[in-house]
Structure 1
């Protein structure tokens, strides 16, 4: 059954059950349904209808049991759930977006997707966003129970670029880019050149292996100014 078919089925069910609703239930349901993907707090329903607390709570409980409405955690106020008609999906303002589950930032999902991106890029040398997305799908529900969207992969890649863990480049179509069409945006591991160059230069200084280094002083018999090996290193 498609999403559209399921939505129509719920609408038909609501119409059928509407005939058996009390006036209070119908008023509560219509207000909730009218708020669509934003939902409404129970306290706001009371202010709009003036229905007594006990009757309002009973109406909400019955509507939930009939699967006509649902409770949704609001990221802006987790202690107060909003009520929403079953046919609507909560807006990003309510849920916090794709990175939130039950009103909480899903750090496990973020860490897992970051790890997958880095591993595939390391294995393939270069990888596109779509290639990474496809790989997440092959990993199945064991790693990503709710699946991953292209937008989520793109956001993680942007963060990895900002953290200087990967580089965003355009494929040349040759060499390490042979698997990616020329001109297409792809990602590769960042090259930390600075650290390697510095280490190589320091390792080649003759002072590091000189057996007389402890006798070397600026104005002594053995000094950097008179050392022929040190001078040759400087000239090189």
Structure 2
């Protein structure tokens, strides 16, 4: 199932260039265009990866609706242009030269597929991130590395995407964003680095929720039994406790 949604994501993600194939050379179908078709084709092609709305075409060319519609059908049949989904103008005819791929402004970015928010793909990513963090404190880079090594997705995910998913989980109160203290639960993460920890356990397993004070260093301190307000080991002199208060 994951692979299926990942393949959807593969079609969404764009490469470093908006060009998909070489521009048509001489002898291409564009050589046999009518005057109206050539005007429209040059206009559409000039918009590159942004494309153009059919209503704007009519306004910019001043061609009659009947001529525009007939010419667009001909250009589509000759595979010189294609119709694309514009998330900002859904339901409207939007056209682009076939040699270009739509920009993120048109498609909506990584989280959209065929003009719609890919809720299923996002949900799977959230579940996988939460699954990993439920086992240990982790950074976004660490989670991304785990996903790449496990090859659970066929798309090339980025750290930015994982961070967006993690922010969503923070807003859902499933995880908390904290800075590593470098010891205890955070021993695998360099001190000061931003990492993520679950705010609650899986209720389906009957495990209790973690409280808001779960990240306090006192909970993992091996000398907590010797800690007193006036003693050698004291909250007033503890550098880890001070750092936690500052955070």
TM-score (norm 1): 0.67
Please say which of residues 82-91 and 28-37 is displaced more in the overlay. 82-91
Q: Secondary structure at the match of 1:27?
A: helix
Aligned partner of 1:132 among 111, 120, 143: 143
Instruction: For structure 2, list consecutive stretches of 5 or more residues without a partner in the other structure.
Output: 1-14, 201-209, 215-247
Query: Relative contact order: is structure 1 or structure 2 higher (C-alpha 8 Å, sep ≥ 6)?
Result: 2
State the alpha-carbon separation in 1 of the partners of residues 27 and 145 from structure 2. 41
State the alpha-carbon separation in 2 of the partners of residues 96 and 47 from structure 1. 26
Residue number in structure 1 paired with 2:52: 40
Aligned partner of 2:173 among 152, 164, 169: 164
CA deviation after TM superposition for structure 1 residue 8, in Å: 8.0
Q: Secondary structure at the match of 2:133?
A: helix
Contact 2:125 2:165 in 1 (8 A): yes
State the alpha-carbon separation in 1 of the partners of residues 38 and 125 from structure 2. 44
Aligned partner of 2:134 among 122, 145, 157: 122
CA deviation after TM superposition for structure 1 residue 9, in Å: 4.4
State the alpha-carbon separation in 1 of the partners of residues 198 and 27 from structure 2. 57
Is 2:191 aligned against 1:182?
yes
RMSD: 3.1
Please say which of residues 84-93 and 98-107 is displaced more in the overlay. 84-93
Is 2:119 aligned against 1:107?
yes
TM-score (norm 2): 0.65
